[in-house]
Amino acid sequence: MFRIAIKMLAGDRGKYAGLLFGIAFTSFLITFAASFFAGFMTRGFSLISDNPAADVWVMDPAVESVEQTTNMPTSALDRVRSVAGVQSAVPLALATTEVRFPGGHFQTFQLIGVDDATAAGVPLLNDDVQVTVLRAPDAVLIDSGGTVGKLETPRFQRDQWPHGEPHLDAPTRPLASGDELLVNDHRVVVAGYTDALPRFPPRPLMYTTLANARRILPPERLRLTFVLASAAPGVRSTELARRIQTVTGLRARTADEFKSDTVRWYLVNSEDVGDVGAMLTLAMTVGFGVTAVLLYIFTTENLKQYAVLKAMGATSKLLLAMVFVQAGVCALIGTGLGLGLCGIAGPIVGSQGFPFRMMWFTPLVGGLMVFVVCVLAALISARSVLKLEPAAVFAGRN
């Protein structure tokens, strides 16, 4: 009987293709939305991922994520270093500042101040640049931070501001080592590019020493944002975090815990979560509408065949199983097509700067949602089959 059900399905090629298209579209859109969600969530804690040597992140007790922070006294660094089990602890300062480019235009950067002695907190560098370049006066390292076209400077010397009015429409080139920028009317020199992970929301990044950050940023009593602590041999990071929190009264989280905190913060506060939810709802609504309508029409048009089978002794349970087999075959093939299309489109979208990341659970989410859509569509279609009377085929009503 199940082979007959599949032959009935493949016999109507138009509706069969329509069912596959509707399910494939649903699978693609749901998996894409889930991958987009995973992408911006992982980019949200890129700062933590850029510092793998930090076992424990120490911060103000009110801080819940790397996206929304407040500073604490510099003395917090010494307090953390004094805790038993801390092998090393370095400062990390975050600030948002406007940077004036040579062409006269300005751009908001996230400025990251790192330890003067070790430069801990600077990610990998490009073009064989050494981190020691930060020891030069006014030196900074820059990164696109997931943005596109934000790090441009005028190509020709005549367009370098402040020679005359700003040349905002002048031809540009990417910033290079030796180019100068203005940060709060302080001159800084680009020493190279980092290979930092993209951020979400995307933003250009500027790395410099903590001493240089204090010089170029507006005066502020509290400048320390995080203390990055590493555990001594034999000390677990979770144990060290609890010990630091007990001794200092500051909030201490392991790297994995802080990533989870950041994800929860985004879930509560980010508007993009609502956008992803709306995309998922739209995908399921469209997929359910297309699948349910086409499967219902297909079932209705084949009531004669079902009536004959029932007249020959097929039970309602068997006919119901046939409908679900047809829906299951469409779901299996359509889901595979949708996942394949998402796998092809994902790298293309990611190369354009979008936070796309297909993780292990995103295909499962797509498959589960398609399963729900197909089950509901099959239940609607099965109603007419269950109510069918064998005599109807002989009466000529179907």
> Considering the chain, what percentage of its residues have pLDDT values greater than 90?
48
**Would you say 213 and 93 are in contact if contact means Cβ atoms under 8 Å apart?**
yes
- Which of 12-16, 139-143, 282-286, 300-304: highest mean pLDDT? 139-143
Report, as an integer, the average pLDDT of 256-265.
95
**Dihedral Cα 236, 360, 350, 103, nearest 10 deg:** -20
Give the tens place of pLDDT for each residue, 67-101: 999 999 999 999 999 999 999 999 999 999 999 99
Cα–Cα distance, 191 to 194 (Å, whole number): 10
> Considering the chain, what percentage of its residues have pLDDT values greater than 70?
96
Q: What are the backbone dihedrals phi and psi of residue 205, each rounded to the nearest 5 degrees, phi first?
A: -115, 145
**Would you say 173 and 103 are in contact if contact means Cβ atoms under 8 Å apart?**
no
Tell me how far CA of residue 153 lies from CA of 98, 103, 133, 158, 192, in angstroms: 15, 6, 21, 12, 14
Give residues with Cβ within 8 angstroms of 110, minimum separation 6.
94, 95, 96, 145, 199, 203, 204, 205, 206
Cα–Cα distance, 196 to 194 (Å, whole number): 6
Report, as an integer, the average pLDDT of 9-38.
85
Average per-residue pLDDT for the chain: 88
Count of CA atoms in the C-beta half-sphere (13 A) of 1: 19
pTM of the model: 0.82
Domain boundaries, the chain: 2-43+270-395, 71-224
Cα–Cα distance, 229 to 258 (Å, whole number): 13
DSSP state, 157? G
Give the tens place of pLDDT for each residue, 39-68: 888 999 999 999 999 999 999 999 999 999
pLDDT at 293: 84
- Conformation bin of residue 57: beta by default, left when phi > 0, alpha when psi is -120 to 50: beta
In the chain, % helix, strand, coil (3-state, to 5) comes to 50, 20, 30
Give the tens place of pLDDT for each residue, 187-242: 999 999 999 999 988 999 999 999 999 999 998 889 999 999 999 999 999 999 99
Give which of 219, 197, 388, 216 is closest to 302, Cα–Cα.
388
Reported as type and span, the H/E element at residue 306 is: helix 303-311
Give the tens place of pLDDT for each residue, 294-342: 888 888 887 778 777 877 877 888 888 888 888 889 889 999 999 999 9
Q: How many CB atoms lie within 10 A of CB 330?
A: 27
> In the structure, what pLDDT confidence band is assigned to residue 398 with cuts at 50, 70 and 90?
very low
Least confident of 26-35, 117-126, 347-356: 347-356
Report, as an integer, the average pLDDT of 361-375.
88
Whether the per-residue pLDDT at 115 is higher than 80: the answer is yes
